[in-house]
Amino acid sequence: MKIFSEELVEKAVSDLHIADLSKATIGEVLLVAQYLEKNTGIPFVRMDQGSPGLPVNRFGVEAEKAALDRGVGSQYPAAAGVPELKAEASRFVKAFMDIDITPRSCVPTVGSVAGSFGSFIACTQRIPGKDKVLFIDPGFPIQKSQLRIIGAGWKAFDIYAYRGQALREKLEEMLAEGDVAAIIYSNPNNPAWICLEEEELKIIGELADKYDVVVMEDLAYFCMDYRHDLGHPFQPPYPPTVARYTKNYILMLSASKIYSYAGQRVAMLCISDALFEKRYPALAQRYNDSGVFGETLIASILYMITSGCTASTQYAYAEMLRLSTEGQLNFVEDTREYAVRAEKMKKIFVDNGFHIVYDADVTERVGDGFFFTIGYGDMEGGELLRELLYYGVSSISLATTGSGQKGVRACTSRMTEELYPVLDERMKAFRQDHPIK
């Protein structure tokens, strides 16, 4: 039996001016869930927005307070970032990835969203004729919206059928025209939680060199592949990264998930020293500056977007990175709760006839973490999104993430202990009302 009537859901869609619920954005689904909760008093199982569901890191809070007490709020921060943060970011990358990047090439941004926006601009303008971005999907829909703003084009493919060595041929096909400036993906992946393995990252790195493409590796969920014992400073195993296989890379490291510091909007662009120092005549001509990639990105692009990153937040991030590198803060254990939630939620769905859509990497079953993907029979993602809303469960369609698979993305961050029996009861009702033929 449905929790919310079709009429009530349609009224919500109409009142909120949502053009097509089956293609609704994360924000639109969120609004529908809030509307239905407010108008009925019935709680939703919220699997839509990927906002942290753990307490903010207290070390960051205390460091930020201390910075404000010192008076940093009275001065504009340097566009390139405060020296303490740049140094700690360099140490962090060495400690947890075994990659050498100088502090100069570590640049704070107002979250990874601002970081990717600025990087897209620099990458697509650095070489005439190379003005498209290649998305290894599924991925983060906002990044394509950023390209719409700057008028840049993109190419994309769903990696579902191109794992392992199959990735090489597909990438060659996409890069052969020579118009791709950058490749972007997240690892672990939002929304599928798949993880690209060393074999695949080696392929990406080799082809980035062959076609002079910058690889933008989004590490929002850094070390959150809980299948492996990651997160011990200066000790293997280290998480896989394309940085081992090319010098054309930008690593995006956000504080939002690993430190639950999302509200303060801070991240790092960790750019290979070789790329940071490379001079591009097209950038020099456009911006009337040196044309050095890193300098142009900081002073002529990022500064125009945000005028620098909030000073006090930079000191907070620096302290969290420092404590992690020194082994006093275990951010992996701090976030492992997401894997516990995912395991419980997946079991409820699978026991009630659902299946995991992106269920495997090349050599392992997909792990448990911040996100997972589910399908139900042959239902299209948009249809499943709508049907789940009737039962008080919000999600987003995989189609909005660039996926070609049928299903929805589920986020574990808002799940609480008292909601597991609620979810189980509602999915039992869903299965009863939707028998799979």
pTM of the model: 0.96
CB 240 within 8 A of CB 201: yes
Residue 396 DSSP SS3: strand
Between residues 371 and 4, which one has the greater pLDDT? 371
Residue 324's pLDDT is what? Answer: 98
- Return d(Cα 195, Cα 186) in angstroms, integer: 8
Is residue 399 within 8 A of residue 384, CB to CB? The reply is no
Region for residue 311 given its phi and psi (left: phi exceeds 0; alpha: psi -120 to 50; beta: otherwise):
alpha
Say whether pLDDT at 437 is over 80. Answer: no
Q: Which two tokens stand for residue 25?
A: 């954005």
Confidence of residue 65 (pLDDT cuts 50, 70, 90): very high
- CA gap 370, 352 in Å, rounded: 21
The per-residue pLDDT for 246 is 98
User: In this structure, what token pair is assigned to residue 222?
Assistant: 């850094």
HSE-up of residue 324 (Cα within 13 Å, Cβ side): 31
- Between residues 15 and 372, the one the model is more confident about: 372
Residue 46, beta-bridge partner list: 394
Backbone torsions φ then ψ of 321, nearest 5 degrees? -65, -45
pLDDT of amino acid 21: 87
CA dihedral 325, 51, 144, 394 (to 10 degrees): 150
Residues 72-87 have a mean pLDDT of: 96
| CA–CA dist 93, 273 (Å, integer) | 13
Extents of the domains making up the chain: 6-54+334-433, 58-325
Inform me whether the pLDDT recorded for 55 exceeds 90. Answer: yes
Burial tier of 264 (Cβ tally within 10 Å: 0-12, 13-18, 19+): buried
d(CA 422, CA 425): 5
pLDDT of residue 200: 98
As a whole number of angstroms, the distance between CA 297 and CA 303 comes to: 8
Q: List Cβ neighbours of 86 (8 Å cut-off, separation of 6 or more).
A: 80, 103, 104, 106, 107, 108
Residue-wise pLDDT for 183-242, tens only, equals 999 999 999 999 999 999 999 999 999 999 999 999 999 999 999 999 999 999 999 999
Based on C-alpha coordinates, what's the Rg of the chain?
22
429/425 Cα distance (integer angstroms): 6
Residue 360 has what pLDDT?
Answer: 97
How high is the pLDDT of residue 197?
A: 97
Q: Where are the beta strands (DSSP E) in 219-350?
A: 249-254, 267-271
Helices 166-175/198-211 angle, 10° precision: 20
Q: Give the β-pairing of 267-271 and 153-158.
A: unpaired
Q: What is the pLDDT of residues 322-372, one digit of tens each?
A: 999 999 999 999 999 999 999 999 999 999 999 999 999 999 999 999 999
Res. 288: pLDDT tops 80: yes
- Phi, psi of 345, deg, nearest 5: -65, -45
Mean pLDDT for 79-107 is 98
Question: Of 370, 301, 295, which is closest to residue 336 (Cα–Cα)?
Answer: 370
Residue 428 has pLDDT above 80, yes or no: yes
Cα angle at 266 between 261 and 272, to 5 degrees? 125
User: What's the pLDDT score for residue 272?
Assistant: 98
> Which residue bears the tokens 């600025």?
118
Would you list the DSSP string of 112-165?
Answer: HHHHHHHHHHHHHHSSTT--EEEEEES--HHHHHHHHHHT-EEEEEEGGG--TT
Write down the pLDDT at residue 276: 98
Specify the pLDDT at position 309: 96
The answer to whether 228 and 394 are in contact (CB under 8 A) is no
Task: Quote the tokens at residue 98.
Answer: 């075994």
Q: Which CATH architecture has domain 58-325?
A: 3-Layer(aba) Sandwich (3.40)
Tens of pLDDT, residue by residue over 115-171, are 999 999 999 999 999 999 999 999 999 999 999 999 999 999 999 999 999 999 999
Q: How many helices (H) and strands (E) does the chain have?
A: 18, 13
What type of residue sits at position 85? Answer: L
Element (H, E) at 361: none
The conformational region for residue 41 under phi > 0 = left, psi -120 to 50 = alpha, else beta, is left
Name the fold adopted by 6-54+334-433. Answer: Aspartate Aminotransferase, domain 1 (3.90.1150)
**pLDDT tops 90 at residue 49:** no
Between CA 228 and CA 239 the distance in angstroms is 9
